[in-house]
Amino acid sequence: MVSFEIFGMIAILYISTFILGKILEKIKVPWIFGALIFGFLCSIFGLFEEVFSTREFSLLAELGMYFMLFMIGFEIDVKELISQSKFYVKATFFITLLAAICGGLTLFWIFSIPLFIAIFIGLSFATVGEAVLVPILEELKVVRTKLGKAIIAIGILDDVFELFTLVIISLLPSFIPGFRELSCVDVEKILLALFCVFILAYLLTRLGEEGKKFKVPKIETLFTVIFFVLFSFIAIGKLPGDAGDLAPLGALFAGIAVKNFIPKRRLEFVESEIRAIAYALFAPVFFAEVGIMTNFSYLFTYPHYVLAIVLAAGIPKIVGSYIIGKKELGKRDSLLLGVALCTRFSTSIVIARYLLSTNIISQGVYSTLIASTAVFTLSLPFAFSCLLNKSFHKSDFTRERAEK
């Protein structure tokens, strides 16, 4: 049975998010970051440690991530995404390659790690914490703008790129020194789950005409169908088990599929109701967990190493985004794209933990990587929010919203 402490802590979380959120809104920062600050404070002072370590709290936080990713999928215009796919693929490849090379060379220079392994670790620098950025994009009404779509599309393609990179590496354990432990990755399960997610999303999207004929006597019935689709896709994503986790990708594709299946006259109501569930109920728990996972002791243990990794991970993304995006997005938005893509979270943490568990990196390297992720988690979302509200970008942002 869930204990009194969990319910009490969650109540404190919600009221703290409300109070801190009101203060943050005064400086044009999304209110949801009140939960992130609450998590930071709990991490620093060691508050509610027993509650945060429970499976119940982790489940609520995980649901928050899935619902937010579902909303990303719901916001995506598939036809427009496909029409712009050439730019997104080119941008993702260029930025990822630049970040991997710069990050790998930095790790090679600082820790004397074998160059090939250092480049592989450098790929984690290219990961994008799009789940952390979603509430910012939603709050500032940027999701449907060209900048917002670019951030989301590159974040999605980045996840797929990281997944296939791990799959390819896992096929070469017998030929590459230092990677034999990676043979534990179950490639068949990963590919099967990927195939199922893509096929089901495609089929539901193709059934859009049937969805228009989908007569729903009660709104509760419609939501039952929507939640069935969402949790079915999440379950399929969990199929690989310890071999990998495609559930976030499944939640995102569930949103895409649902948007293209349900009747258009229901879309606006469904969107508003699910957003209320996602951001009012689950998102504060998710952001609190993000803050709690930030270990500030690393920042003081390896300050010079952390600074080097932060620069090696951040500068290539900003420079790469500017080079590849200045013609498509404009100079100012391409810089904002680079700042947004510096936001890192779950994927980079998972990769770092995985490399540590297989003894490919040392505890010192792992601690430095986690510390750099903490810096980005703490600073970049706030920086991105503030930059979007600066007067130098306001005119372009207003014009683009008006065009919509």
pLDDT of residue 14: 95
Q: Return the amino acid letter for 271.
A: E
Q: Where are the domains of the chain?
A: 4-403
Whole-model pTM: value is: 0.68
Nearest residue to 339 (alpha-carbon basis) of 358, 315, 361, 357? 315
Tokens of 226: 């929507």
Q: How many residues does the chain have?
A: 404
Distances (CA, A) of 2 to 281, 288, 381: 18, 19, 33
Q: Over its length of 404 residues, how does the chain's per-residue pLDDT go in tens digits?
A: 457 788 999 999 999 999 998 988 777 667 887 888 898 899 888 888 888 888 888 899 889 888 887 887 787 666 666 666 788 888 888 888 888 889 889 988 888 887 877 887 777 677 776 666 666 777 667 777 888 888 877 877 776 666 555 555 444 444 445 444 444 455 566 677 777 877 887 777 666 555 555 555 567 777 888 899 899 988 888 876 654 567 777 887 888 888 877 777 777 777 888 888 888 888 899 888 877 877 777 777 778 888 888 888 889 989 999 998 888 888 888 888 888 888 775 556 556 665 665 566 777 787 787 778 777 766 776 777 777 766 344 444 444 444 44
Distances (CA, A) of 225 to 201, 219, 300, 380: 14, 10, 49, 37
Return d(Cα 241, Cα 245) in angstroms, integer.
Answer: 7
383 touches 137 (CB < 8 A): no
- Architecture per CATH, domain 4-403, reads as Up-down Bundle (1.20)
pLDDT of residue 175: 45
Neighbours of 403 (CB within 10 A): 8
261 touches 200 (CB < 8 A): no
Nearest residue to 233 (alpha-carbon basis) of 201, 203, 263? 201
Return d(Cα 193, Cα 399) in angstroms, integer.
Answer: 42
Place of tokens 């904002």: 336
Helix, strand or coil, per DSSP, at residue 10: helix
Contacts 24+ apart (CB under 8 A), 164-169: 165/120, 165/123, 166/244, 167/191, 169/120
